[in-house]
Amino acid sequence: MRRTQDRLALRSPTSRQDGGRRLIKAVSPGTATAGDEHGFSELYHHRRLALVRLALLLVDDLPTAEDVVQDAFAALLRRHGRRLADLDDPEAYLRTSVVNAARSVLRRRRTVRAYIPERERHVPPADKSVLLAETHQEVINALQRLTRRQREVLVLRYWSDLTEAQIADTLGVSRGTVKSTASRALDALGRQLEIPR
């Protein structure tokens, strides 16, 4: 039941429109004071689905995306416990963890595919059409053909609505690198989708 609810929420545009900024405030570092034991639970409750969406766009596989986010929360809990007062920005910490874990997943996939030939694909999973409408599939496919960094920058910029400074901090690169990577990525995406400039 929980997975079904999560999948429905994953495709719900309303969960992003007004919820993003309000929920960040709801679980901001100021909320999780030294005496607040509920900061971690609130953070998990309010930000998990947004992070799963982010991971899904990076790894293109819902079960793996859910695992990546679960591991990020588990690492946060192991490292900082339920009290988040000593952490400046728990959401940024989680976002960086998710991006790094997605990179590891993609590296492992490349290694496995180098040694094991890819199986022929059969009928796509039944829930794929629920998660990604057919009209968006072409964009998702084009996004998957970009380089890893280009995909990360575009997803963080246009899906997660991060600023260049936040993206640079999340990926560990300069703001100039973020700008140039985004520009090249948009050009490549435009060529793949045959969008006139």
Q: Which positions ≥6 away from 155 have C-beta within 8 Å?
A: 54, 57, 58, 143
**Dihedral class, residue 53 (left if φ above 0, else alpha if ψ from -120 to 50, else beta):** alpha
Encode the chain (197 residues) as per-residue pLDDT tens digits. Answer: 444 444 444 443 333 334 333 333 334 444 444 334 567 888 889 899 999 999 988 888 899 999 999 999 998 888 877 777 777 888 888 999 999 999 999 888 887 777 766 566 666 665 565 555 655 777 778 888 888 899 889 888 888 888 999 999 989 999 999 999 999 999 988 888 776 65
Give the chain as a 3 state SS string. Answer: CHHHHHHHHHCCCHHHHCHHHHHHHHCCCCCCCCCCCCHHHHHHHHHHHHHHHHHHHHHCCHHHHHHHHHHHHHHHHHHHCCCCCCCCCHHHHHHHHHHHHHHHHHHHHHHHHHHCCCCCCCCCCCCHHHHCCHHHHHHHHHHHCCCHHHHHHHHHHHHCCCCHHHHHHHHCCCHHHHHHHHHHHHHHHHHHHCCCC
Instruction: Identify the pLDDT of residue 52.
Output: 92
Q: Give the tens place of pLDDT for each residue, 70-94.
A: 999 998 888 877 777 777 888 888 9
Q: How far apart are CA 197 and CA 189, in angstroms?
A: 11
Instruction: Identify the pLDDT of residue 180.
Output: 93
